[in-house]
Amino acid sequence: MSTHSSVPTPTGLVLVPPGLAKVVVTDTELGDVRGDEGFFHYRQYSAVELAEKVGFEQAWHLLFHGHLPSAAELDALRETAGRLRVLPPALADLLPAICATTGDSLQVLRTALSAWGGITGQRPLYDADEDERLSSAMAAVAVTPTILAAAHRLRLGLDPVPADPDLHHATDYLRMVTGSLPVERDARAVEQYLVATMDHGFNASTFTARVIASTGADLAACLVGAIGSFSGPKHGGAPSRALEALDEIGTPDRAEPWVREQVARGARIMGFGHAVYRTHDPRSEMLKAVARGWDDPLVDFAIGVEATIERVLAELKPDRPLYANVEYYAGVVMRLAGLEPSMFTPTFCVARAVGWTANVLEQARDPKIIRPAARYVGPPPPQPVPAGERAPLPA
């Protein structure tokens, strides 16, 4: 609901823009998105530079602990993550039944993580100390790719591939999904995508996780809420839809008439535009460079179509700059790395599990519950009556 109607504001309430746009609700040490600059960072580092230069576990350590790990710290995190990637037996037994009820990976993930919370005895954040919270967060991030990979294979009628604790996180995820050990190029490309998407400011799902954390609920509840928010069509990444657009265009000569047709009928151009960025999405630019690592016609086609779409959109919508977002090249990179379109958005969750839990850990340190107000704009209520009296009801 818009907060710009003529209804007066009760004393003590402050009007804010619809959707809390650009409203600062708290302080964070985790990172920031500078939409006008086309830049975002994790703590004191450029997120894109991290994606180009470090692995998933190193960026994970940075968001959880505030600094890049030493060699010993990195070894310890990899050992812990590898051990925790193995599904608890009770959850492994339950997963086929969960998958039998739905073919949607996000529904499977949120149901499985809810069950994981009970199976592993997750306590309310309010009752847990910092070490216990951190252990819970580590376990949740570690088990997420195993759940998603197993669900994918069960949906295809295949046996799940058990986790290999000795492999790096991204490599093992790709192996568990495809059933074979990936080549280094494919594993590294997926890893770069994961690093670049593990956190991105106070988006809807991250804010949802923090609201739940502020109540003192357990970590599994925070993640289930975040995934519920992420599953909404207005929020969850749609790299598969962007790739479908490329498939629909088919040949370079069809790109311009296709985009003109989409704009004429008011359709959204999937993979273009962003709620925050007013210039090029740095994640898209980085993934374009990653995609060039393959000598594949799809890459040249995607680059050519991107240029055409941006040119036509600049002509048709001169007051609203629209550029390729992270979804556009994410679909290209994941397809070339061997992932099916049905696994594109789940792969996003493998990354974002780090950001969600890092935000939960930060929020859990704040004793204040998040409790905003709403402005009532319905029919006039009755006037207050003296204590001990009752307001008359309608006849």
Per-residue model confidence as pLDDT tens digits over 225-283: 999 999 887 777 566 778 888 889 999 999 999 999 998 988 887 777 776 767 778 88
Q: Is the pLDDT of residue 4 over 60?
A: no
- 308's CB contacts (< 8 A; 6+ apart) are 252, 255, 256, 259
Give the pair of three-digit tokens for residue 52. Answer: 């180009």
Report pTM. 0.91
Q: For 266, phi and psi rounded to 5 degrees?
A: 75, 20
Give the pair of three-digit tokens for residue 111. Answer: 């149901």
CATH class of the domain defined by 31-233+344-364: mainly alpha
**pLDDT band per the 50, 70, 90 thresholds, residue 15:** confident
Q: What is the CATH number of domain 239-336?
A: 1.10.230.10
The residue ranking higher by pLDDT, 117 or 323, is 117
Q: Residue 187, SS3?
A: helix
- Sign of the C-alpha dihedral, residues 102, 106, 111, 116? positive
Ranking 142-156, 187-201, 277-291 by mean pLDDT, the lowest is 277-291
Q: Is the pLDDT of residue 202 over 80?
A: yes
- Percentage of the chain beyond pLDDT 70 is 94
Angstrom distances, CA of residue 277 to CA of 39, 187, 309? 9, 28, 17
Closest CA to 313 of 267, 359, 358: 267
Name the residue ranges covered by the structural domains of the chain. 31-233+344-364, 239-336
Ranking 54-68, 240-254, 301-315, 363-377 by mean pLDDT, the lowest is 240-254
Q: Using one digit for the tens of pLDDT, what is the confidence trace for 183-200?
A: 999 999 999 999 999 998
Burial class (CB in 10 A: 0-12, 13-18, 19+), 41: middle
Q: Is the pLDDT of residue 8 over 70?
A: no
Per-residue pLDDT, 126: 97
Long-range interactions of 26-29: CB distance < 8 A, separation 24+: 26/210, 26/363, 26/366, 28/202, 28/359, 28/362, 29/66, 29/362
Q: What is the enclosing helix (H) or strand (E) of 222?
A: helix 219-230
- Distance separating alpha carbons of residues 33 and 202, to the nearest angstrom: 9
User: Which residue of the set 169, 191, 274, 306 is catalytic?
Assistant: 274
Cross-strand bridge partners of residue 31: 42
Q: How many CB atoms lie within 10 A of CB 120?
A: 20
Q: How many CB atoms lie within 10 A of CB 261?
A: 11
Task: State the DSSP code for 343.
Answer: G
Per-residue pLDDT, 48: 95
- 154's CB contacts (< 8 A; 6+ apart) are 95, 96, 99, 160
Per-residue pLDDT, 239: 64
Angstrom distances, CA of residue 34 to CA of 282, 358, 371? 11, 20, 27
Q: Using one digit for the tens of pLDDT, what is the confidence trace for 372-383?
A: 988 888 998 888
Per-residue pLDDT, 395: 61
User: Which residue of the set 57, 306, 310, 327 is catalytic?
Assistant: 327
- Residue 65 catalytic? no
Q: Using one digit for the tens of pLDDT, what is the confidence trace for 67-126?
A: 999 999 999 999 999 999 999 999 999 999 999 999 899 999 999 999 999 999 999 999
- Residue 327 catalytic? yes
Give the pair of three-digit tokens for residue 151. Answer: 């669900």
- Distance separating alpha carbons of residues 142 and 393, to the nearest angstrom: 57
Q: Is the pLDDT of residue 295 over 60?
A: yes
